[in-house]
Amino acid sequence: MSATATGAWVIATEEKRLAAMVRAARALGGTVTVVAVGPRALADAASAAGPDGVLWLEPAGAEPVEAHAAHVAAAAADAAPRTLLATVEPGARALLGAAAVRLGAAVVPGVLSLRTEGEGVVVECSAAGGAAIATLACPGPLAALFAGDDDVTAAAAPSAPVRVLDDGTAPADLRVVGRAASGRSAGVRDAERVVSVGRGLKAKADLALVESLASTLGAEVACSMPVAEDLGWVAKERYVGRSGQHISPRLYVALGISGTPQHMEGVREAKVVVAVNNDPAAAIFRTADYGIVGDLYDVVPALVAALSS
């Protein structure tokens, strides 16, 4: 590796996973710079996350973050970091892609951990849709789309200096022309407990059963996509998954839900997932924390009774 290609850049457009990425970058040795593209509060959070320095760029009102990709790429070409990290979030991803290609870096998605090995970096990343973990050695520059756990306990280190990133590169002609509420902000989003129902439910009237469990638990009712979109039994803003709500309750109880990757993506950040399904081979029994194999029409009343005793 050339003497100039050292250190790591963490490209951040939001605070999520920022501390975890700084920590992962730290463990590689070398200097760590956060490139924060967003409001001043983001730059301040970046500074407290423990890097050596922060480069900050604030897009003007109607500019999406993506308008500054060429700008960030040019700065990356100057600094020549060996490793880039960003989350998969749309804005951060666009910035990472631009910088990566400029540096001739390999772009690896689903990165869970990184370590230095000799002159190179070795990463573990998710493979086969998350069913396996692959180890890849990267002898050259690397751009990692980081999917490791967030680091919520990270201590606020002494604040790193924040420098404004401004080289006069004109932003790309991309404009935000409208913002409207998406209808995603139902009670389900922030609920501590959620009881969710899938196509295992036989009739709309049987929702009463689901609601009895929800009220015993003090939970919100959610569902899989077909229950909202195809059957129309539950409001659309209550379905969970890739195209619906992404939620992080402490408890998620899935009743008659098969557990496809598109559904489970919405509850990846739930603390405890419980599945009730009458098919012992259902995919959800490979990802849930707890399961009961049985007919939900028998299990739910028993669960209400057990909770009440």
Partner 1 sequence: MRAVVAYTWARDVADAAVRQDGTVEWRKDKMSPGEDDHAALAAGLALTTDGGTLVGLTCGNGDASWALARGVEQAVHVTDATPHDDDAATAAVLAAGVRSIGAVDVVLVGDSEEHPGVPVALAAHLGWPAVVGVTTAAARDGRVEVVRTVGDLEETLSLAPPVVVAVAARSAETRVPGMKELLAARKRPVTRTTLAELGVDVPDTLVARGTRLPATAPTRVFDGEPGEATRQLVAALRNEGVL
Ligand X SMILES: Cc1cc2nc3c(=O)[nH]c(=O)nc-3n(C[C@H](O)[C@H](O)[C@H](O)COP(=O)(O)OP(=O)(O)OC[C@H]3O[C@@H](n4cnc5c(N)ncnc54)[C@H](O)[C@@H]3O)c2cc1C
Q: Which 176-235 residues touch ligand X, going by CB under 6 A?
A: 198-200, 224-227
Smallest gap from Cβ 271 to ligand X, in A, equals 20
Q: Which among 36-44, 101-109, 211-219, 240-248 is the span making contact with ligand X, rule CB under 6 A?
A: 240-248
Smallest gap from Cβ 32 to partner 1, in A, equals 21
Residue pair 253/195 in contact (Cβ under 8 Å)? The answer is: yes
Smallest gap from Cβ 224 to ligand X, in A, equals 3
Tokens of 36: 């924060």
Nearest-Å Rg of the Cα atoms of the chain is 23
Tokens of 279: 């098919």
Which string of b and e fits 132-168 if b means at least 16 CB within 10 Å? Answer: eeeeeebeebbbbbbbbeebeeeeeeeebebeebeee
Site for ligand X (CB under 6 A): which residue of 59, 241, 249, 291? 241
Site for ligand X (CB under 6 A): which residue of 116, 159, 169, 278? 278
Closest CB to ligand X among residues 13, 258: 258
- For 167, phi then psi, to 5°, come to -115, 10
CA separation, residue 231 to residues 179, 185, 195, 234, 238 (Å): 29, 21, 18, 8, 13
Give the list of residues 6+ apart from residue 105 with CB closer than 8 angstroms, or none. Answer: 84, 99, 140, 141, 142, 143
Site for ligand X (CB under 6 A): which residue of 33, 47, 83, 258? 258
Residue pair 245/238 in contact (Cβ under 8 Å)? The answer is: yes
Residue pair 69/98 in contact (Cβ under 8 Å)? The answer is: yes
The residue count for binding partner 1 (CB under 8 A) is 86
Site for partner 1 (CB under 8 A): which residue of 127, 149, 163, 215? 127
Closest CA to 290 of 305, 309, 270: 270
Smallest gap from Cβ 34 to ligand X, in A, equals 32
Q: Which among 21-29, 46-54, 132-140, 270-278 is the span making contact with ligand X, rule CB under 6 A?
A: 270-278
Restricting to residues 157-176, name those near partner 1 by CB under 8 A.
Answer: 172-176
Site for partner 1 (CB under 8 A): which residue of 156, 242, 268, 269? 242
Restricting to residues 193-232, name those near partner 1 by CB under 8 A.
Answer: 193, 217, 225, 229
Closest CB to ligand X among residues 91, 198: 198
- The binder of 102, among ligand X, partner 1, none, by C-beta within 5 to 8 A per type, is partner 1
- The binder of 258, among partner 1, ligand X, none, by C-beta within 5 to 8 A per type, is ligand X
Per the listing, tokens 């402490």 go with: 250
The reply on whether position 243 binds ligand X by CB under 6 A is yes
| Torsion (CA) 170, 174, 177, 183 in degrees, nearest 10 | -120
- Name the residues that contact ligand X, by CB under 6 A: 198-200, 224-227, 239-244, 256-258, 260, 262-263, 266, 276-279, 282, 295-297
